[in-house]
Amino acid sequence: MAPGRRGDGLLRHLRGPQQRGQARREPSRRGPGRQRRARADGDGPRCRARGRQRPRWVRAARSARPRRRDGRDDQRRFGRRSRDVPGGSPALRVAIAENSRLFRDGLVLQLEAAGVGVVAECDRADDLIDLLPELRPDLVLMDIRMPPTETDEGIRAAAEIRDRFPGVGILILSTYAESTYAAAVLAISETAIGYLLKDRVTDVGALLDALQRIAAGECVVDPDVVATLLGQPPRRDDLAQLTARERTVLHLMAEGRSNASIAEQLSLTVRTVEAYTAAIFAKLGLVAQPQTNRRVAAVIAWLRGSHTVY
């Protein structure tokens, strides 16, 4: 066939450099550059960039494979910064350990909508503890039951946090209105600790009030736990000695209220409330000591001596 005819196109890939230019093989239109761009749309650099982004929560749900301690840092990064609330005052910075992702997500949305900075989310207490030296939040919020045993991980983690990071406030969240749990939480520390029922989280105002009081160094017990226990007959003789008004004052003390707050709520003078608290301490045998917070000790004695509530 003569050069340039239509049939030559079938043989171009067989011709070499000695032939005329129009008969030589043309460079592939899918050169290396185009191939690289095609890969970038799939598993290439853009996907790796997504992989380098800090995940929203600290670690994905646990798989059935054995746990590996090495290399976890890439999966446990925190993805939020605390924000300043309107007016220029710094927001509270909190870290969360909760193995229910649905509950955790809802909690995060509520806190951030209220101006609280969520600096980390975890599904295990030990992962949260590993991050505390770096994050140093104002408070930690933890479920009382988490993997691996689903028993009292939150309480044991709270004790470790208070020992290693005494400046971090602690709020334990639970679905169980049990006096034994509340007493165990308050026995960890006399300041900056609390026990709330998860139902309380739906009331944003109550949740923020508890967080602010714990951040200020108070001890907080869920009002529903306290109110339920208040209606139960005490099991200890010394608790039975308390009058109805003294039990009411102790109820408010268990919520973490100060004498001034109790006086305002009961329409009493502060001096009258002080008299009631002194009577409570005397009847419970709580002698003033430098290392003892008698208000907390009174609440613990009451919780330990009350019926367990389910």
Structural domains in the chain, sorted by start = 73-221 (3.40.50.2300), 223-310 (1.10.10.10)
* pLDDT averaged over every residue in the chain: 72
Whether the pLDDT of residue 197 is over 50: the answer is yes
Asked if 167 contacts 139 with a C-beta cutoff of 8 angstroms, the reply is: no
pLDDT for 229 equals 61
pLDDT for 207 equals 93
The owner of tokens 């869920």 is 222
In percent, how much of the chain has pLDDT > 90?
34
Whether the pLDDT of residue 95 is over 90: the answer is yes
Dump pLDDT digits (tens) for 276-293. 888 888 887 776 655 556
- Dihedrals φ, ψ of 36, to 5°? -65, -40
pLDDT for 228 equals 65
Whether the pLDDT of residue 60 is over 60: the answer is no
The owner of tokens 């008004």 is 245
**Cis peptide before 148, with omega less than 30 degrees from 0?**
yes
* Mean pLDDT comparison of 15-24, 61-70, 74-83, 174-183, highest-scoring range: 174-183
pLDDT for 215 equals 94
Question: What's the whole-number mean pLDDT along residues 121-148?
Answer: 94
Selected residue with higher pLDDT from 112 and 187: 112
Question: 147 in helix, strand or coil?
Answer: coil
pLDDT for 221 equals 86
Selected residue with higher pLDDT from 305 and 299: 299
Selected residue with higher pLDDT from 114 and 235: 114
Question: What's the whole-number mean pLDDT along residues 236-251?
Answer: 80
Q: Per-residue confidence at 79, pLDDT binned at 50, 70, 90?
A: very low
Whether the pLDDT of residue 117 is over 60: the answer is yes
The owner of tokens 């602690």 is 170
* CA distances for 221 relative to 67, 127, 214, angstroms: 35, 26, 10
pLDDT for 308 equals 35
pLDDT for 87 equals 45
84 DSSP 8-state letter: B
Q: Per-residue confidence at 125, pLDDT binned at 50, 70, 90?
A: very high
pLDDT for 212 equals 93
What tokens appear for 41 in the block? 């749309």
String of b and e for 58-78 (b: at least 16 CB within 10 Å)?
beeeeeeeeeeeeeeeeebbb
Q: Per-residue confidence at 232, pLDDT binned at 50, 70, 90?
A: low
- Dihedrals φ, ψ of 204, to 5°? -60, -40
* CA distances for 104 relative to 44, 49, 218, angstroms: 32, 26, 24
Whether the pLDDT of residue 77 is over 70: the answer is no
Of 73-77, 102-106, 178-182, the one with minimum mean pLDDT is 73-77
Question: 217 in helix, strand or coil?
Answer: coil
pLDDT for 172 equals 95
Whether the pLDDT of residue 162 is over 60: the answer is yes
pLDDT for 290 equals 53
